[in-house]
A and B are shown apart, each in its own frame.
Chain A
Amino acid sequence: MRMRLKRVSAVARFEFLAVVKRWSYLIATFGLPLFLALVSGTVLGVQTYFLSQRAVESSAFGLVDEASVVDQSVFESRDGARIWTADGNDIIFFDDAETAAKQLEEGVLRSVYVIQSDYLETGEVRAIQSDKTPLLSMRGTVIEPILRSLLRKSLLGGEVEKAVEERVINPARFVRSRLGPGGAEVASVDEALELLMRTTIPLFLGILLLTALLSASGYLVQTVTTDKESKIVEVLLSSVTPEEILAGKLFGLGAAGLLQFGVWSSMVVVVALAASAALAAVVAVPWAALVISPVLFVLGYLFLGSLMLATAALGANAAESQKLTMGWAMLAILPLMVLVVLLEDPNGTLGQTMTWIPFTSPLTVIIRLSVDAPGVAWWEVAGSIAVLVISIGLAIRVGARLFRVGFLLTGSRPSLKELWRQAR
């Protein structure tokens, strides 16, 4: 049965305007990104402020050498004290532990390190913190490697060649690189940064897609419940077919969801552009995933949305409709549940299988393209789109029948037998 496009577009337009004029929609679409930007900006600002405040606070540490092993040549006399400045930290050399402890109590020092007299036998260095210093101090983690290097240097002093001494102090400087698609070596990247980019962008895109999908689907459940509770559905069904109502609602609310997705994903594009510029092409921005994600969003939404509309209509009230649609949402979330596997092996059996399942393909394809775009064949992307298109056609046909039954059998949920009879 062919649908009358004018009727479908009338339903779509009405549903679209009904949603986008709501305060909740406007806040979620435009207010949420602004709110998130505001919150993260504030958090970053506050954090930066406090860290800089801490930085200007005392960054002096005391060092007492009871074992007489430290090479004191690095210390220079300044203001009547022997000070070694390393990585922005002042390490003050004390002859006795009492003086150092007194300055620690007065708050001049953040902590005092005492190299025990039996250090050579035990390797023990006592670290005494002031009560103002937090137990887990970032400064502590910075100063201790410096002291270790100083001790290594002091212990080796003159015993080995200069070059060997340097290597003992700094045994390795890892230079990382990886092979590009043509086999050529590309610029080396910091592993931590790459790991961050490899996981953050697909995760972010995935959550974004899922949030937009679920948000749009939420509107679908809401509209079905409204129609059912307001009893307007009989008026609609005496004018248009269930297929036309279902398609109109899908397109109208899908457009509202797409608008929301567009606003949100524009943030990602801005961040990606900024990151791209900042990292000077050191890290590849997953443009393929960014470009294909709206297409997959629309298809994934139409597929899941038609199933959600049909099942929502079977619920006796809003709460029941919500519960009935949760199953579809859980299926859509599957790729995020196995994200670790997909990140580790994007083109493995699991990734390839989930590419062909309409419930999981939108998110899987986006994750795979984000992590390893060259590893995804064009026919896999085209195939997943084709599977989605076919699935949408089937879902709308079956969905429209269930939709009619669900709407008209109000008050109680129809039995499976009744559903089957009406859906044929």
Chain B
Amino acid sequence: MGILAYRGVTKRFGQHTALDQVSLEVEPGEVFGLLGPNGAGKTTLIRIGLDILRADEGEVLIFGEPPRRESLDRAAYLPEERGVYRRAKVRELLEYLGKLKGMARPAAREATDRWLERVGLARVAHQRVESLSKGMTQKVQIAACLMSEPELCVLDEPFSGLDPVNVALITDLIDERRAQGRTTVLSTHMMHQVEALCDRVAMVHQGRLVVYGKLDDVRRRYSLNEVIVWTGVDLVALGMQAQPYKAGSWRIALGPNDTASGYLEGLIRNGVTVDRYEPLVARMDDIFVRVVSEEL
């Protein structure tokens, strides 16, 4: 049973259909990538999942049941268009948002201190949010989202505007959540983060679900059955159909019935010294561009 499930969800705004019969499930404990170009309907999908908007058609289940106030206490959301009370002090804001999630005041205080420490902002606890840099403000928002230790957390573009150190921090936090068995829905345009973090992905385009499945399966599905061979041997001179790739490497398109492992065995049999061998799996960036271009 999915922790968050959409079944035939359709949402219209006037004449515009934002979501068209979308069905997908987010499984417990995974990091789920929600992808798609700008305006594809990702935010609408998230809002419907968290009962901020209501679907026109279809069904949404969160923790196995239609959204209820109690179930929403077990979830948290970091929207892409992030909002903060800029005049509030950092600590006040976090305590307030913790209490809105149902935390008692002492628990909200304790969680505030712990999370400010965790994201490296303990020293600015008594400063107004408006005095913080954009990156620091974003970390406050991420702390606010995670401080109630939600079972389901939806992060919309959590890496935007962050320096590499803070990107690494957020990556660690997401990995920690997975290790703790907590579910994270990650909506981002940073495809290398998707590749590094996500277990499964869904891509929405023009309101429709166009890609959905395990990350590895999706990448393989869109791969062209090619391998890269790093070797000092001139493969073309050996009569192979290889194209020079980077220095000391060759790109080889395999036949429809060839497998990467079978091809490697053949190379070794022919006495080719292989320094490094890599089946070429499609990158999420390429898949994204390809899917969006095909749909245009």
A 347-361 binary contact with B (CB < 8 Å = 1; else 0): 000000000000000
Query: Is the pair B47, A408 in contact by a Cβ cutoff of 8 Å?
Result: yes
Q: Inside 8 A of B238's CB, which chain A residues have their CB?
A: none
Stretch at the interface among A53-61, A225-233, A264-272, A288-296: A225-233
Query: Is the pair B52, A238 in contact by a Cβ cutoff of 8 Å?
Result: yes
Q: Inside 8 A of B78's CB, which chain A residues have their CB?
A: 235
In the docked arrangement, what's the CA distance between A238 and B97, Å? 11
B 90-106 binary contact with A (CB < 8 Å = 1; else 0): 00100011011110000
Query: Is the pair B77, A235 in contact by a Cβ cutoff of 8 Å?
Result: yes
Partner of B52, one of A6, A17, A237: A237
Stretch at the interface among B68-76, B157-165, B257-265: B68-76
Pairs A–B under 8 Å by Cβ, sample size 6: A234-B83, A235-B79, A238-B72, A238-B76, A239-B100, A409-B13
How large, as a class, is the contact surface on chain B? 20 to 34
In the docked arrangement, what's the CA distance between A149 and B81, Å? 84
How large, as a class, is the contact surface on chain A? 20 to 34
Q: Is B87 in contact with chain A by the CB < 8 A criterion?
A: yes
Shortest C-beta distance, A422 to chain B (Å), equals 8
A-B contact count (CB 8 A): 66
In the docked arrangement, what's the CA distance between A98 and B89, Å? 83
Q: Is B190 in contact with chain A by the CB < 8 A criterion?
A: no
In the docked arrangement, what's the CA distance between A303 and B141, Å? 34
Q: Is B7 in contact with chain A by the CB < 8 A criterion?
A: no
Q: Inside 8 A of B96's CB, which chain A residues have their CB?
A: 10, 14
Which residues of B94-122 are within 8 A (CB) of A?
96-97, 99-102
Query: Is the pair A234, B85 in contact by a Cβ cutoff of 8 Å?
Result: no
Q: Is A4 in contact with chain B by the CB < 8 A criterion?
A: yes
Q: Is B168 in contact with chain A by the CB < 8 A criterion?
A: no
In the docked arrangement, what's the CA distance between A231 and B78, Å? 11
A→B interface (CB under 8 Å):
4, 6-7, 10-11, 14, 17-18, 226-227, 230-241, 408-409, 415, 418
Shortest C-beta distance, A243 to chain B (Å), equals 10
Q: Inside 8 A of A227's CB, which chain B residues have their CB?
A: 83
Residue in B closest to A17 when the chains form the complex, CB atoms: B92
Please judge, given known A-B contacts A238-B72, A238-B77, whether A7 and B102 are in contact too, CB under 8 Å: yes
In the docked arrangement, what's the CA distance between A179 and B79, Å? 70
Query: Is the pair A241, B69 in contact by a Cβ cutoff of 8 Å?
Result: yes
Q: Inside 8 A of B252's CB, which chain A residues have their CB?
A: none
Query: Is the pair A415, B14 in contact by a Cβ cutoff of 8 Å?
Result: yes
In the docked arrangement, what's the CA distance between A232 and B84, Å? 5
In the docked arrangement, what's the CA distance between A17 and B95, Å? 14
Q: Is B144 in contact with chain A by the CB < 8 A criterion?
A: yes
